[in-house]
Amino acid sequence: MNFFFEVLITGLLVGIMYSLVALGFALIYKASDVFNFAQGDMSLLAGLALVGFLTIMPLWLALVCTIAVMTLLAYATVFIIFRPLVARPPLILFMAAIGLAFLVQGIGQSIWGTDAKGLNIGIPDNPIILGELFLSSFDLIFGVVAAALVGGLVLFFQKTRTGRALRAVADDHEAALSVGIPLLNAWAVTWVIAGIVATVAGIAWGSRLGVQFSLSLIALKALPVLILGGIDSIPGAILAGLVVGAGENLAEVFIGPYVGGGIQTFFPYLMALLFLWFRPYGMFGKEIIDRV
């Protein structure tokens, strides 16, 4: 039983990092109806930028400069790429997001090269013994950081004027415009927030796996999370990330040995496929019925 809880807690801590990636998708889709295919590439760019800045400045200043880079990317994305595409069909916006993904990859490759880079921000990865449980200090620290970020976002959207304005834009674009909320500015703030989330995710995964271009594929790990939680639901992204992280870890440890291992790579997609039979819109997604 102790081993079960150890595997479960480790999976939940990994699931928090999945939630971070899925949260970026949900934020942007909820505010602007854009499925941001470039979310994983934004995490990659943040990791590359931080590695580059760390060579010439201390950590705190490198983090500030990295967030500044992501902020510039957010405003450039909204006002240069998506502004001319307002009111266009969703497929056009999706193709623009795919183009943005390749553009971000190209920028990262041209500036920092294609070699894998180590990222060490001074967080130890030592075993922590809690009773009879053995946990990773790195996972625990980033779990706390991710939980604090999610809690801060919840307070921001619930308690601040800007957060309430962004919620209004997400619920009804036309109604938000009618009361004087500038749509493009709201989109830009949402993309900035998604950029900060991508920065934290890039640091977490880059410190664990190294900053390499395969890091952009972590967006694919967020797809089952979005299906389970609902693509437009922020609470759903958080809860589903925990479910996916715990589910794949438990499956790999307790089912994997009976099927030859490797179940961790596809088990989240199997979970999402089974869940679609019962809840096509996810746990917290909105069911939309178009009347014709």
pLDDT tens readout for residues 194-238: 888 888 888 887 887 778 777 777 777 788 888 888 877 777 888
For the record, the structure tokens of 106 come out as 């190209």
DSSP 115: S
**pLDDT tens for each residue of 238-279:** 888 888 888 888 888 888 888 777 787 788 888 888 888 888
pLDDT of residue 173: 64
Q: How far apart are CA 48 and CA 44, in angstroms?
A: 6
At the second CATH level, the architecture of 2-158+186-278 is Orthogonal Bundle (1.10)
- What is the number of residues in the chain? 292
Cβ–Cβ under 8 Å, residues 279 and 233:
no
Task: Work out the burial of residue 196: count CB atoms within 10 Å of its CB; fewer than 13 is exposed, 13-18 middle, 19 or more buried.
Answer: buried
pLDDT of residue 156: 80
pLDDT of residue 68: 93
3-class DSSP string for 125-163: CCEEEECCEEEEHHHHHHHHHHHHHHHHHHHHHHHCHHH
**pTM value?**
0.82
- For the chain, the structural domain boundaries read 2-158+186-278
Tokens of 234: 């922020």
Whole-number pLDDT of residue 177: 67
pLDDT mean for each 10 residues of the chain (292 residues): 77 80 80 79 87 87 91 89 79 86 86 78 73 73 80 79 75 67 79 87 80 74 83 80 86 81 81 82 66 55
Q: Can you give the pLDDT at residue 109?
A: 80
Q: What 3-state DSSP class applies to 211? A: strand
**pLDDT number for residue 65:** 92
State whether residue 6 is helix, strand or coil: helix
Token output for 160: 């601040």
